[in-house]
Amino acid sequence: MNDFSVSLDERMLKDVQDKLGAFSKKAPNAISSSLNRAVTNVASNVSKEVRKEYNIKSADIKNTLSKTRASRSNLSAIVESRGELIPLDKFKVSPRTVQPKRKKPIKVGVKKGGVKPLLHSFVSDVNGIKVFERKGKARLPVKKLFGPSIPQMLKNEDIRKNIDREGSETFNRRLDHEINRILDRGSASS
């Protein structure tokens, strides 16, 4: 499990209330709305940043994500990733067809920028293309091969840094926007 969370301290709440002045009771609205926009941004950035480093589809990443949104009473938001190891066939595999007479090892590219040969492995069509490896000299038993899970990919420091930076920039930008919107509405009604 891997998560990105944002919660607010009393100092930030007080700061927003001070900026809002007479409309300070609307501070939780502005903050929760900004947090929810940031959560949406973080979820899409998780997919974008992981795909910069790994050969994986966006849908495989998004299936592991869950969002907990903020409300007026709960000023915290979380994007969480839970997932199992991903089968190697979800990454870049060459060849993607069954070739029983093949003498060269198959090649797999989990990370962008290159493929590596996998000795003693083969591609088989068992309810779709899968990558297997023999456990010994005999034909059987075989084991299915897996790559890293999405939560493991999110432990990469560069990926985490970019996602955190984008999320906090979005939150701050949206918070300023929400504060200005509340002040503009308030001044228009008076």
68-110: pLDDT as tens digits: 999 988 888 999 999 999 999 999 999 888 888 888 899 999 9
Structure tokens that stand for 25 in this block = 């009771």
**Residue of 18, 14, 73, 8 lying closest to 183 (CA atoms):** 18
For residue 186, pLDDT beyond 80:
no
Answer yes or no: do 12 and 76 share one domain.
yes
Domain count, the chain: 2
Gap between the Cα atoms of 49 and 113, Å rounded: 15
Gap between the Cα atoms of 156 and 174, Å rounded: 27
Gap between the Cα atoms of 106 and 124, Å rounded: 11
pLDDT tens per residue across span 21-46:
888 888 889 999 999 999 999 999 99
pLDDT, average across residues 5-31: 84
For residue 190, pLDDT beyond 60:
no
Answer yes or no: do 51 and 64 share one domain.
yes
Residues 6+ apart with CB under 8 A from 19: 179
Phi, psi of 159 (to 5 degrees): -60, -50
Answer yes or no: do 136 and 163 share one domain.
no
Answer yes or no: do 139 and 158 share one domain.
no
Answer yes or no: do 29 and 115 share one domain.
no
Answer yes or no: do 154 and 142 share one domain.
no
Confidence (pTM): 0.83
Three-state SS string over the chain comes to: CEEEEEECCHHHHHHHHHHHHHHHHHHHHHHHHHHHHHHHHHHHHHHHHHHHHECCCHHHHHCCEEEECCCCCCCEEEEEECCCCEEHHHCEEECCCCCCCCCCCEEEECECCCCEEECCEEEEECCCEEEEEECCCCCCCEEECEECCHHHHCCCHHHHHHHHHHHHHHHHHHHHHHHHHHHHHHHHHC
Residues 6+ apart with CB under 8 A from 166: 41, 42, 45
Give the mean pLDDT of the chain: 89
Answer yes or no: do 113 and 169 share one domain.
no
pLDDT value at position 150?
95
Range of the domain at 73: 2-83+150-189
pLDDT value at position 45?
93
Answer yes or no: do 32 and 94 share one domain.
no
Answer yes or no: do 10 and 77 share one domain.
yes
pLDDT value at position 7?
64
Answer yes or no: do 78 and 158 share one domain.
yes
- Could you give the percent of the chain with pLDDT greater than 90? 59
| pLDDT level of residue 119 (50, 70, 90 thresholds) | confident
| CA quadruple 122, 126, 129, 65: dihedral, nearest 10 | -120
Answer yes or no: do 99 and 169 share one domain.
no
Answer yes or no: do 108 and 162 share one domain.
no
| pLDDT level of residue 188 (50, 70, 90 thresholds) | low
| pLDDT level of residue 138 (50, 70, 90 thresholds) | confident
